[in-house]
Amino acid sequence: MANSYIQLHFVALFFLASLTIPSNCLPGLYPKAPVALFVFGDSLFDRGNNDFIKTTTTFQANFPPYGETFFKLPTGSFTDGRIIPDFIAEFAKLSLIPPYLQTAYHEFLTNGVNFASGGAGALAETNTGLVIDLKMQFKNFRKAKKHLRLNIGKRAAKRVVKNAVYLFGIGSNDYLSPLTNNSSIFKLYAPQDYVAMVVGNITSVVQKIHREGGRKFGILNLGPLGCLPRLRAANVAAGGNGECVEQVTALAKLHNVLLSQKLQLLQKRLKDFKYSYFDVFAASIATVQNPSKFGFKEVKSACCGSGPFRGYFSCGGKRGMKEYELCDNPKDYLFFDANHPTEAANLQSAEAMWGGPPNITGPYNLQSLFLL
């Protein structure tokens, strides 16, 4: 019943939001014709796919107060309002990109679709059985491509796939999940070898999409994972003062270096391959070091949750802990819950991705990719 309730309300929201989202004030031109946006990733990008799979509330956000800022009800996204792909779609003058598993929307595939799944990893072993991992997301893309061909014809579908932008935001769970589940994986692999597996799976899917006809890719690196409210709370539980957990952040740094290197190699090897690499890590550090410059008052504690730094993943009271605190104004916060940014933070990331300079978003920004 809950999922049906969410789905019915999201149907209305999908059409209303496409009409009522205010125009963004970013300068620059827009594509003359819509360029599709296909989204792959984890909970930073999930538009509600996890509402349609057999999983647990740990990997769902289909209950209040999620969605309260913009939609006024939960839509399955792990934030108080819109996520990064929502803003990118707005900037590109597309309607909201729907979740793939909300099958009623398959006629909108010419504008793109969102395959992301909260809790997903690049590795199939990450939260296996509870999420849609990256390889399965690619399989869903191939199904969507087949559906496009049936609907609009082979030639038109090929044009959609070639002109589309493919947005990736995944990898965090591959490093966070083993810690949560007390896995011995980090004892079995040297850090460099484990990171190589994660990055290798990401770039493998990128190459597969290129073989399917895709040419333009937007890729996010990882932020300082050890500084999430969840990890600060874990540091307190271990007897610390809420410092960032450097062991986890070190893995993110290794990941970012290797991912950047691999993308540069793909640019040299793959025909017409173009990409935008958004440095989430650098942007996050800048925000934490100077919050007021970016309009934030609190960058360590979450808006919604419990425990130290509101770092317990209890927002909404549906994940084992019923009691939680909720801030008055999410716009003041960098984090909405223990793991995820607020809509305000998502907007700033999307703006940087869309029109940022090469040192933050390069060698292309997303605006450039949509115009190519």
* Tens of pLDDT, residues 116-134: 999 999 999 999 999 999 9
- Indicate whether 119 belongs to any domain: yes
Mean pLDDT, rounded, for 2-26: 39
The verdict on whether 328 is a catalytic residue reads: no
- Indicate whether 229 belongs to any domain: yes
Sequence-distant (≥ 6) Cβ neighbours of residue 268 within 8 angstroms: none
- Indicate whether 6 belongs to any domain: no
Catalytic option among 86, 133, 174, 337: 337
Burial of 52-73, coded b for 16+ CB within 10 Å and e otherwise, reads beebeebbbbbbebbbbbbbeb
This prediction has a pTM of: 0.90
9, with CB counted inside 10 A (0-12, 13-18, 19+), is middle
* Tens of pLDDT, residues 211-247: 999 999 999 999 999 999 999 999 999 999 999 999 9
> Given this model, what pLDDT does residue 34 score?
75
> How do the residues of the chain divide into helix, strand and coil, expressed in percent and rounded to 5?
50, 10, 40
Q: Domain count of the chain?
A: 1
Confidence bin at 8 (pLDDT 50/70/90): very low
Looking up tokens 């989204």, which residue turns up? 39
Catalytic option among 43, 117, 172, 177: 43
- Indicate whether 27 belongs to any domain: no
Q: Where is average pLDDT lowest: 150-154, 195-199, 205-209, 313-317? A: 150-154
The amino acid sitting at 50 is: N
Confidence bin at 104 (pLDDT 50/70/90): low
Looking up tokens 């990890």, which residue turns up? 231
Local structure of residue 294 (DSSP, 8 states): G
Helices 280-289 & 343-355 angle (0-180, nearest 10) = 130
| Phi, psi (degrees; rounded to nearest 5) at 87 | -70, -40
18 has a pLDDT exceeding 50: no
> Given this model, what pLDDT does residue 182 score?
74
Peptide bond into 65 cis (omega under 30): yes
The verdict on whether 340 is a catalytic residue reads: yes
Instruction: Give the total residue count for the chain.
Output: 372
Quick one: which of 345, 354, 365, 368 has its CA closest to 83? 345
- Indicate whether 133 belongs to any domain: yes
Confidence bin at 103 (pLDDT 50/70/90): low
- Indicate whether 147 belongs to any domain: yes
**Could you give the CA distance from residue 318 to residue 328 in angstroms, rounded to a whole number?**
20
- Indicate whether 364 belongs to any domain: yes
The verdict on whether 183 is a catalytic residue reads: no
- Comparison of pLDDT for 105 and 47, the residue scoring more: 47
CATH number at residue 180: 3.40.50.1110
User: 219 lies in which domain range?
Assistant: 37-371
- Indicate whether 293 belongs to any domain: yes
